[in-house]
Structure 1
């Protein structure tokens, strides 16, 4: 099985990487507990701001593979979304010599976080990175955002939060749509190689 990856993988935030709408369920200011490292908001019964369980290892995997990682969110509170990404800590990769957690925002090469169509987000990503749309894979919990496929982006629906199985499903669909072009070598009877 091929392990080829898209050049860019983008993720929606709300109900894709975390289990809330940042612009309605979370109340600033946010703060990170100095001992536990957990991020909470300012409600009387504070909301914990965290990724779904498999997201940290997925981020490590994609970063190590050299994939450009992007966030595409149409939230009405872009500054709060960025603050949450800055405060959430991702534990070091298993087996890593570095023992310090890393701010989640450092895993993202591109941030398109503002109220607008996902089509606009991807046009901006293409403009900034030069990566072609057919080398992009997008994970989102809202079916309406499949509209990015008009550009050539592969879309994967995330019904219950991003996990390893959804990641693999998206990668399989992207690979199916973009098979590796293999040129077979032909050898003539006299041993001459024709490509």
Structure 2
């Protein structure tokens, strides 16, 4: 693993990796688009897909052997899991379920502190070796644990990703 990256990068889902709230903006059943396996459709044809640079960023981190996790405060964890399992994205050159990027997925209605305490317990990774991307400023509460927090009010993109990495590198000095 590159020392330029944290050991673990954690992502919120809603408005961080995709532009919607999985528990209020879409309605099951979900199905893959016939035209694009990276797009999932809900009952009414609403598109669910990652923001533009997300898959490339996830692959970059995976290539650097960074553990990738999800921490999502959702009241519809079943929907989040279904969409991540249905969505096919290129991973190591072949289309695979998006869920394969993530070693730990914490998607349930709880505080981010609860999510991170579970992630820390399950991975054994120190909080200072974690970087968290989220669209809500209130979730910077994880900084109290020692996690580096990066606010992405417009979702994850290349610039916000690089800013988060720089912030983590600065915090570890």
Tell me which interval the TM-score lies in, with the shorter structure as reference length: over 0.9
1:149 is matched with 143
**Greater Rg over alpha carbons, structure:** 1
Q: Any idea what the Cα deviations from partners look like across 1:124-170, whole Å, max 9, x if unmatched?
A: 00000110000000000000000000000000000111011101100
Task: Compute the displacement of 1:68 (Å).
Answer: 0.5
Higher helix share: 2
Residue 176 (structure 1) aligned with residue 170 (structure 2): yes
Q: SS state of the match for residue 22, structure 1? A: coil
What stretches of structure 2 of length at least 5 have no aligned partner?
A: none
TM-score when normalising by structure 2: 0.95
Q: What's 1:116 paired with?
A: 110
Task: Write the deviation string for residues 74-120 of structure 1: whole angstroms up to 9, x where unpaired.
Answer: 10000100111111111355xxxx4x312100000110110000000
Matched pairs, number: 171
Partner of 2:80: 81
Give the whole-Å Cα distance in 2 for the aligned partners of 1:70 and 1:5.
Answer: 14
Task: Call closer, same or farther: CA 1:69–1:92 in 2, change over 3 Å.
Answer: closer
- For structure 1, which runs of at least 5 residues remain unmatched after alignment? 180-195
In 2, Cα distance between equivalents of 1:92 and 1:141: 25
2:90 matched to which residue of 1?
A: 91
- Distance, in Å, in 1 between the alignment partners of 2:158 and 2:95 is 21
Look up the SS of the partner of 1:85 in the other structure: helix
